[in-house]
Amino acid sequence: MNPVEWPEGYRLERLRRDHSRRSLRSGVAEVDDWLVTKALQQQEKKLSTTKVLVDNARAIAGYYTLAIGEIEFAALPPEIVKKLPRRQLPVAVLAWLGLDSTRQGQGLGGRLLAQALRDCFEAGKTFAFVAVILDALNEEAKAFYQHWQFAELPGHSHRLFLSAKQLEALMTTP
């Protein structure tokens, strides 16, 4: 996958206190609330990192939040854990992804996800993990992620994963 290119007038930045977090209206209250009330706090505590897509007026068009975590060996499908130790396994977590409702349908959500996955891939060169996991908030979000090859974790219809091998294949395919 080639590097993500943003349309003219957009740029990606690490979330800062001076960003107008209340300007984002994704249409999903939990997504908006996270950005307004928790994203910066969690970032300052080194629990996650949030990147925001801003336009020339510095309005936030979208964002994503990444973190690291662990998952039980038994929670992953057999094809992922084959030959791995039977213990907690490291994962990258796509904790949040949101796009302002006025920007939807322009391909920005896919670009945000592509950049989030690129960030995971690059981090994986230093800090190993077996998969990227996320929790889809609804069926629409689930379908969006499944389009990107995310699959359900066994027994969890809205917890999805993309194996590290799949991620590598996505990132190294021209």
Tell me the mean pLDDT in the region 18-46.
Answer: 95
To which residue do tokens 């996505």 refer? Answer: 170
Residue 5 lies in a domain: no
Tally of domains within the chain: 1
Q: Assess if residue 4 is contained within a domain.
A: no
Cα separations in angstroms, 51 against 91, 115, 116: 19, 10, 9
Instruction: Please indicate, yes or no, if residue 125 is contained in any of the structural domains.
Output: yes
Q: CB neighbours of 37 closer than 8 A, spacing ≥ 6?
A: none
131-145 pLDDT, tens digit per residue, is 999 999 999 999 999
Decide if 85 is inside a domain: yes
75-89 pLDDT per residue, tens: 888 888 888 888 889
In-domain check, residue 18: yes
Question: pLDDT tier at 1 (50, 70, 90 boundaries)?
Answer: low
Is 70 among the domain residues?
yes
Does a structural domain hold residue 1?
no
Has residue 155 got a pLDDT over 80?
yes
Q: Which range of residues forms the domain containing residue 40?
A: 10-172
The residues, any chain, with a CB within 8 Å of residue 167's CB and separated by 6 or more, are: 117, 120, 121, 124, 132
CATH number at residue 54: 3.40.630.30
Q: Do residues 111 and 158 make contact, with C-beta atoms less than 8 angstroms apart?
A: no
Query: pLDDT, tens digit, for every residue of 44-71?
Result: 999 999 999 999 999 999 999 999 999 9
Residue 140, amino acid: E
